[in-house]
Amino acid sequence: MNKIFRLYQVDSFTKEKFTGNPAGVITNADGLSELQMQKIARELNNSETAFIFNSFNEDYDVHIRFFTPSNEVPICGHATIAAHYSRALENQLDSTRILQKTGAGILPVDIIQKDNDYDIVMTQGKIEVEEPLNQEYQERLFHALGISKEEIRTDCPIAIASTGHSKVMIGVTKLSTLHNISPNLSELSSISQEIGCNGYYVFTLHNEKQNIETLQVNGRMFAPAIGISEDPVTGNANGPLGAYLVHYKLVPIHNSELVFEAVQGESIGRKGRMVVKVIVLEGKPIEVKIVGQAVVAFSSTIEIEC
């Protein structure tokens, strides 16, 4: 029996089509097998595609699964924004809170109706910030990224951070260094297998006036081990970065909250931005949210035998 599936191509963290981070979304995924979802994700060839399933459980409203072109991942920031933006448009939702079941647990997403459009606020998962990587791995990372030790911020430990999907945090001193990175993707993949972390987030901090409201991050994220050479704008890198900045006390905290703007994608012509909010209690990060906009690039349908 054939079924018609509704497909959206959504650019997240932007309001300009063909910028930001593109994600595929199937809003009525019930009936698709895991193999079919993987094939759709491979065909669309976005860094992630989200598949929305109905809930038959009172503990959550929807179940969303995320696939890269090569494998399933537990959670994805930009595809979460894309999925809930598409669903809100399709169902003409008012402002509301949705509980989504993901591979990283059941997490709230707030739909904010605004000027006949929507902002999407994603609360991320369990916060984990590890000890710095040992010197051997750090040196291998410098080589794989093509940067020198002198270009690394001495106040930023090279460490893994996660809010559901981990990334290695690597702070560099100059924006020019960030934009000039040309990584050895094979070596990064090899390191991933050894350290158990598939993503690398290289970032700069700009806060000349030491006023938390002016803090801006620029970054680039590489995850070749899961089929992503470079991700344009990454919720699951900037969210963990917020937790990492608080954990290692790298920036001042204002009123028990860290808020910053993250800009990403400039180096590959897909610039986008998001706001990251970290709730802080007794000097520790206890909750991370990312706020993003989105725009539908195109929509279609797929007929598949189920």
The SS3 call for residue 296 is: strand
- From the list 48, 130, 230, 282, the catalytic residue is 48
Residue 91 and residue 113 in contact, taking contact as beta carbons nearer than 8 Å: no
CB 228 within 8 A of CB 190: no
Helices (H), 18-76: 34-44
**Is 48 among the catalytic positions?**
yes
Instruction: Report the alpha-carbon distance of residue 50 to residue 90 in Å, rounded.
Output: 15
SS3 110: strand
Residue 13 contacts residue 47 (beta carbons within 8 Å): no
Helix 77-91 crosses helix 235-247 at what angle (to 10 degrees)?
120
Per the DSSP assignment, residues forming a β-bridge with 223 are 228
Does residue 271 contact residue 291 with C-beta atoms inside 8 Å? no
Residue 262 is given by DSSP the state E
Q: Which residues are catalytic?
A: 48
